[in-house]
Amino acid sequence: MEAIVIDNGSGVMKAGYAGEDLPQCIFPACILDDRVEATTSSLKQDRKVTIVGSKCQQYCEIVATNYPIERGIVKDWDALEKIWSHVFVQQLRVNPERSALPILSCLSPSDSFGKQQERMAQILFESYKVSGFYTMNQCSLSLFASGRTRGIVLEIGHGSSHAVPIFEGYALPHASLHCNIGGIDISTRLKTFLAQSGHSKDPIHPQTLDSIKESLCYMQSKAEHGNDGNTSSVPFELPDGTELFIDNETLCRPAEVLFQPKESQNECSKNCSKGIHQIVLDSIAMCDADLRGDLRQTVLLAGGATMIKGYSRIQEELQSNCIEKLSVIPDPQLRERGYNTHRKIASWIGGSILASLSTFRDLQISKQEWEEHHEAILHRKCFF
């Protein structure tokens, strides 16, 4: 074991050891603790016990669960620290101080990346006494996972989307763009459309909603967009055995929010003036002319929301707005293995690769360096 790799997602936490193919744990990045007023006898018994991950979701219809990372930005550091403790103690069963394993933390490439990494380093060094720390943005790590060092990454996560151009492994912050649109907005719209279709007699559990989104929702092609002629329905069996018949319009409309953010029901997302395809094209245009050809040849998709069926729509939208040819990876026309099936966890895989390299020892910030220089060392060794 070389290091512990933690991918801090807005919706899902992924953690494991460097050099391994897959993370050892993947769970919802939510928490329910004694600060929340319990309303059931089962919760009252657990009020002093922090509930993390999937177990929170069984109470989600009774009390509000806390997602400490919202739209890629940490809003509740105390809650995030409890999730990390759950990762170390319950999932990896490792003592960060005694193991002397450094931590590689994967972060969203948000505008507050620098401040986020400073606070993260402070907690891990001072509370968990880790031996070393390094952080890198999720888009650069996703590109590593694909075996490339040049390209532009379109990451569509739980709460936000990012277009980050990367040259020789390093992100170009001046041309990195983001919008507050992600998988949560697709889920919210799906819930609304299901209710409008008469499926709201009983609240649909978030896990069931995610299952419908991941297995049945799809992006309409440009040719199909706006065509309401297909009125057929698709069956979906609920956990209790009840069968829902969901019409195709309900299944294809939610993902349109990625291309038309103003359709979002979230005020934060409505303020986004451009869809995911446009931020990619704008990002490329902001780069040096000599780099644009390489970027257009590698438009890498990453993040859970890119797993929705019909993602060839992304290629269509990009190409219809660009004279030069673009290549989206993975190619929608090819059923390739490897990166295609793992892009949902690409940033963690990239982190696993990076932290397993012999050069990672030189990259990481040691405990001694932190004690001598504190936050200043981050800006010398950790880049966006």
- The residue-averaged pLDDT of 41-68 equals 68
Q: In what helix (H) or strand (E) does residue 276 lie, and over which residues does it extend? A: helix 276-285
Q: Which residue reads 């069963």 in tokens?
A: 93
- The lowest-confidence range among 53-57, 185-189, 308-312, 327-331 is 53-57
Q: Determine the Cα–Cα distance for residues 332 and 313; give it in Å rounded to an integer.
A: 9
How would you class 243 by CB atoms within 10 Å of its CB: exposed for 0-12, middle for 13-18, buried for 19 or more? exposed
pLDDT at 241: 85
Per residue in 4-15, pLDDT (tens digit) is 999 999 999 999
DSSP string covering 79-105, please? HHHHHHHHIIIIIS---HHHH---EEE
pLDDT at 347: 97
Per residue in 234-291, pLDDT (tens digit) is 999 888 888 889 999 999 999 999 999 887 766 665 567 899 999 999 999 999 999 9
Domains of the chain, each with CATH number or no CATH: 4-30+72-144+345-381 (3.30.420.40), 31-66 (no CATH), 183-258 (3.90.640.10)
CB within 8 Å of 376: residues ≥ 6 apart: none
Residue type present at position 235: P
User: pTM for this one?
Assistant: 0.91
- Per the DSSP assignment, residues forming a β-bridge with 74 are 69
Q: What is the mean pLDDT of the chain?
A: 88
DSSP string covering 170-231, please? EE-GGG-EEES--HHHHHHHHHHHHHHTT--SSPPPHHHHHHHHHHT-BPPPTTTTT-----
Query: Which DSSP state fits 38?
Result: P
Res 36 pLDDT > 50: no
Length of the chain: 384
Residue type present at position 121: A
- Asked whether the beta carbons of 295 and 282 are under 8 A apart, the reply is no
Residue type present at position 293: G
